[in-house]
Structure 1
Amino acid sequence: MITSNATVTSAALEHLDRDWLRDYPAALLHGLASLVGQRGEALYVTGGAVRNWRAGRPSVDLDLTVTTDGLGWARDLAGRLGGALVPLDEGQGVARVVWQGIVIDFCRFRGPARSLAEDLGLRDFTINAMAVAFDPAGPGLLPPYAIIDPMGGGRDFADGLLRVTSPKVFFDDPLRLLRAFRFMAELGFALEGETEALLRSQADLITGPTGPAGARINGELARIMASGRASVTVRAMAEAGLLGHLFPELQAGAGVEQPPSHHLDVLAHNLQALTEMERLLAAPDAFFPGHGPSMTRYLAEQASGTLLKWAALFHDLGKPAVCAERSGRITFHQHERVGAAGFAVLARRFVWKKIEAERVGRLIALHMWPFHLNNVFQKDGVVTPRACLRLVKAVGDELPGLFMLAMADSLAGQGPGKPLAMEAALARLYDQVEETRRRFVEPVLTRPRLLDGHDLRQEFSLRPGPVFSVIFLGLQEAQVAGEVRSRQEAMAWVRDFLRGRQAQDF
């Protein structure tokens, strides 16, 4: 009979309340049981699943630990189930099986470990160094479902603490520096004192010669931003020094003073904007009355909320590079353009998806537009259809997100020189922009063009080129302003436009 080779200490006397594996498809359980019988080796459930089950929560995915040949176990299970095999690290015997939406990761004992207890001692944090044995006599966990816990992870889990299993944890894999904060974000845990001190002293490992690849870093960062604790977690990363190593461009804002409308330096302002964005995301209607449902729909599409958090954190990325003093005033001319370009470099470094990088970059590049438009709105009391069209054409479907970013930016700046009631003004401006867009802009953009490229070639003998775009945009502006309503009027408008261009050429 197969027996566990783990050393069960007094910390391991805790038991699960039931056999949580019974929640999984029978085919998976019978496949694992068959492999246990065939190979004659012990099988353990480890990591996040045990952590979740201990807390009374289900776990979709499984981390399984075997004595040797994790890749072979995964290959055999994938063959039995018809699942997809994904080798993750053949040298370390780590592989993944994906089957019916379930991810099953196999790993053999790590490094020099010769027992489960030794293997668990080589993991990152004590809360991940717990295991439950698979029952060799049948499909399921081994009764009475004892939690094998040689590192005291159960106690730390109950106390809400993240504690490293050894002082070598971050040296062995610097990505664990970031994983610590990911667990803080997802679980709401705090760093144990000695662990926090160790992390601070070794934060530079994240970008050192043995540091993880950009894609691995991005995976952890994405989970932090997708959590509901992104702001407090990113602040903790900044205090520990990790944020500055990851994003020196962002850290460059530390100590960079701002005009009297701000009360924080550039770095602190970016961090505060992220805090304000999380408030906005939780209750958009509180900041844009009457627009809550439409903004909620926008946020539900294509991970918009997470991308807005990134945009808030990096919206003033370009300020340190363009900071200047003119006539005794601090200025940041074109910081949004410089910031968008800097973010593009950063996104490539961390292997962002192209479409997501473009969305965040566009928001950064345009984040001052609502403030400039608000200046005109306060003076004239109206947003013209032409101005609304230009904004909509520039920002596309991100119009709600752009105004949410502007609102977060405004809320994050509370200096004595700030215009009064700026947030209320932005909300009124959004009301006006949305009304103008609905009444004048959308009807033009959703209807077929009055003229197309064929018309410009046939009727005016024009060759395709940049002038086509200029004409089409000019026609749209004339349409939303009510100056052009028919094909005939469009033809007349083009003739006038071309006569004006010809006169300018002379």
Structure 2
Amino acid sequence: MRRAVSHLAPVLPLLQEVGQLFTGAGHELALVGGPVRDAFLGRTSGDLDLTTSAPPDEIERLLKPWASTTWDLGRAFGTIGARKGDAVLEITTYRADAYDRTSRKPQVRFGDRLEDDLVRRDFTMNAMAMRLPDLEFIDPHDGLAALAERTLRTPATPTESFADDPLRMMRAARFTSQLGVQVAPEVQAAMRELADRLTMVSAERVRDELVKLLLTSAPRPGLTLLVDTGLSDIMLPELPALQLEIDEHHRHKDVYQHSLTVLEQAIDLEGPRVVPGLGTVEPVDGPDLVLRLAALLHDIGKPATRRFERAGGVSFHHHELVGAKLARKRLRELRFDKDTIKAVTKLIELHLRFHGYGDGEWTDSAVRRYITDSGPLLSRLHLLTRSDCTTRNRRKATLLSQTYDSLETRIVALQEQEELDAVRPELNGNQIAEVLGIAPGPVLGRAYKHLLAHRLDNGPVGEQEAAAELRRWWAQQPEAGK
């Protein structure tokens, strides 16, 4: 308790001040949930969540003269927000909700006892509170013991808790990754039993919880729990589908475990990065959602493309293209934004391109196309491709790493020479129209694309040579004689 209070020291004067404000007006006030849990864990919490016996109008009346500003976007749920200096507080009236378990919509009811509010919370380690201003510790459901055991339990029975809000099952998976805890056996059993109830939760809420899980420092345990309990079958069925039956001769690796390992390796590569011979290169700052989604989903096209060859072995031809289509469909259903979907699917499409590089046989033209096709995703593609190597053969892994070092070196050299980040044909649209004597339209667009391809294949050639190439191309077009 002393350590927890010590960890709260930076905000303790403010908490005690607002506590005195509420108790002086005849109300109870307590710090609750995540901030209390994190104080015992020695973690810094970005939230200051408080709960009170005061109704929303009274909360607002008390806060307005005290805080720098207040807002009431959560008034219907009893929450009033406030800013005091740099601190942001959210204060919510005690809740004693009842749930319509056919639609998952809570019938918002305000309560008058802290204990009633705590029993409706998701997990016991989040059902601890500190009364303000005297810092009395309230723990009716032994949350501190569960925290010490690193075990996730529920204040009510797990079946009741998850029936009230099925998203809590996904939150359990997230906490296994975020807090390094394990779910209690009865909690895991209830997750299996009630997994189908996740269909009642909106796609947006499921997406947001998945994003929080993926952005933790170690998402693998949470993802594994989603698969093991059947929750992933509901919200991300492509992940458990990667558990392909391994043939008795083990002619292909475990794609599911491989994908989780690729995700871990991609996370390890986020942040500052050094390439031999180049030094520090452009980093992908973490946590990066696009990279992590692409790493997790890069092989989801394999189940649909697996073929056992007559000569032995297994093939997955064009799985990157099939996987990109599957990822696009799934991410749309989860209501991800268009930019994220476009970036993730492009990375999946391109993740095998490097393997055509071999021992460096690519021409400069091929390297240019690699750069151009990846566009602003190039740095992420570097990390995805590197993380896709999970072989235990050290010699093979070292060779792949050195080959990619070579490719990155060539890319940097070409970029410095030709400024490929903004590659354009030597002639713009007006110049093309003037050379060919044509008006703007589809033919001009085709001419522009031809000059761009010529530029990618041959590098900078100058305006004179570009005009000569344009005339050669035009002479072969059906429109030239009209």
Q: Which amino acid aligns with 2:205?
A: R
Cα distance in 2, alignment partners of residues 69 and 107 from structure 1: 8
SS at match of 2:90: strand
Give yes or no for contact 1:45–1:62 (8 Å, CA) kept in 2: yes
Cα distance in 2, alignment partners of residues 342 and 505 from structure 1: 46
Cα distance in 1, alignment partners of residues 244 and 481 from structure 2: 51
1:163 and 2:161 matched: no
Structure 1 residues 254 and 445: alpha-carbon distance in aligned structure 2, compared to 1, 3 A threshold: closer
SS at match of 1:402: helix
1:494 and 2:470 matched: yes
Cα distance in 1, alignment partners of residues 288 and 173 from structure 2: 20
Identify the residue that residue 410 of structure 1 maps to in structure 2. Answer: 389
Mapping of residues 93-492 of structure 1, within 5 Å: 93-97=78-82, 102-111=87-96, 114-135=112-133, 142=134, 145-167=135-157, 168-207=160-199, 209=200, 212-255=201-244, 263-281=252-270, 285=274, 288-290=275-277, 293-294=280-281, 297-300=282-285, 305-325=288-308, 327=310, 330-372=314-356, 374-375=357-358, 378=359, 381-411=360-390, 423-424=400-401, 426-442=403-419, 445-446=421-422, 450-479=426-455, 484-492=460-468
Q: Which amino acid aligns with 1:251?
A: P
SS at match of 1:203: helix
Structure 1 residues 349 and 488: alpha-carbon distance in aligned structure 2, compared to 1, 3 A threshold: same
Q: Which amino acid aligns with 2:293?
A: W
Shift in Å, 1:401: 1.6
1:37 and 2:20 matched: no
Cα distance in 1, alignment partners of residues 84 and 469 from structure 2: 61
Structure 1 residues 463 and 252: alpha-carbon distance in aligned structure 2, compared to 1, 3 A threshold: farther
Cα distance in 1, alignment partners of residues 276 and 4 from structure 2: 48
Shift in Å, 1:341: 2.1
Shift in Å, 1:238: 1.8
Cα distance in 1, alignment partners of residues 458 and 415 from structure 2: 15
SS at match of 1:234: helix
Shift in Å, 1:17: 3.5
Give yes or no for contact 1:162–1:190 (8 Å, CA) kept in 2: yes
Shift in Å, 1:474: 4.0
SS at match of 2:335: coil
Shift in Å, 1:494: 0.8
Tell me the C-alpha RMSD between the 2 structures: 3.6
Cα distance in 1, alignment partners of residues 421 and 239 from structure 2: 38
Structure 2 stretches lacking a partner, 5+ long = 98-110
Cα distance in 2, alignment partners of residues 120 and 290 from structure 1: 58
Number of matched pairs: 466
Shift in Å, 1:252: 2.5
Cα distance in 2, alignment partners of residues 243 and 324 from structure 1: 25
Give yes or no for contact 1:74–1:106 (8 Å, CA) kept in 2: no
* CA deviation profile, 1:395-447 (whole Å, cap 9, x unmatched): 11222321321222232x569xx9786623542443354244334442x5547
Q: % of aligned pairs identical?
A: 26
Structure 1 stretches lacking a partner, 5+ long = 1-12, 136-141
Structure 1 residues 68 and 190: alpha-carbon distance in aligned structure 2, compared to 1, 3 A threshold: same
Determine which of 32, 37, 46 is the counterpart of 1:51.
Answer: 37
Give yes or no for contact 1:46–1:64 (8 Å, CA) kept in 2: yes
Give yes or no for contact 1:284–1:291 (8 Å, CA) kept in 2: no
Structure 1 residues 348 and 478: alpha-carbon distance in aligned structure 2, compared to 1, 3 A threshold: closer
Shift in Å, 1:127: 0.8
Q: Which amino acid aligns with 1:500?
A: Q
* Mean CA deviation greater in 110-119 or 312-321: 110-119
Q: Which amino acid aligns with 1:77?
A: L
Structure 1 residues 424 and 52: alpha-carbon distance in aligned structure 2, compared to 1, 3 A threshold: closer
Give yes or no for contact 2:425–2:455 (8 Å, CA) kept in 1: no
Cα distance in 1, alignment partners of residues 361 and 121 from structure 2: 61
Shift in Å, 1:159: 2.1
Cα distance in 2, alignment partners of residues 292 and 100 from structure 1: 43
Cα distance in 1, alignment partners of residues 192 and 278 from structure 2: 43
* Mean CA deviation greater in 192-201 or 395-404: 192-201
* Mean CA deviation greater in 429-438 or 360-369: 429-438
SS at match of 2:130: strand
Cα distance in 2, alignment partners of residues 67 and 165 from structure 1: 20
Cα distance in 2, alignment partners of residues 313 and 254 from structure 1: 13
Structure 1 residues 55 and 321: alpha-carbon distance in aligned structure 2, compared to 1, 3 A threshold: closer
Cα distance in 1, alignment partners of residues 309 and 61 from structure 2: 67
Cα distance in 1, alignment partners of residues 287 and 152 from structure 2: 30
Give yes or no for contact 1:45–1:133 (8 Å, CA) kept in 2: yes
- TM-score (norm. length: structure 1): 0.80
Cα distance in 1, alignment partners of residues 354 and 268 from structure 2: 20
- TM-score (norm. length: structure 2): 0.83
Shift in Å, 1:176: 0.8
Q: Which amino acid aligns with 1:206?
A: L
Cα distance in 2, alignment partners of residues 505 and 84 from structure 1: 73
Give yes or no for contact 1:388–1:441 (8 Å, CA) kept in 2: no
Q: Which amino acid aligns with 2:377?
A: E
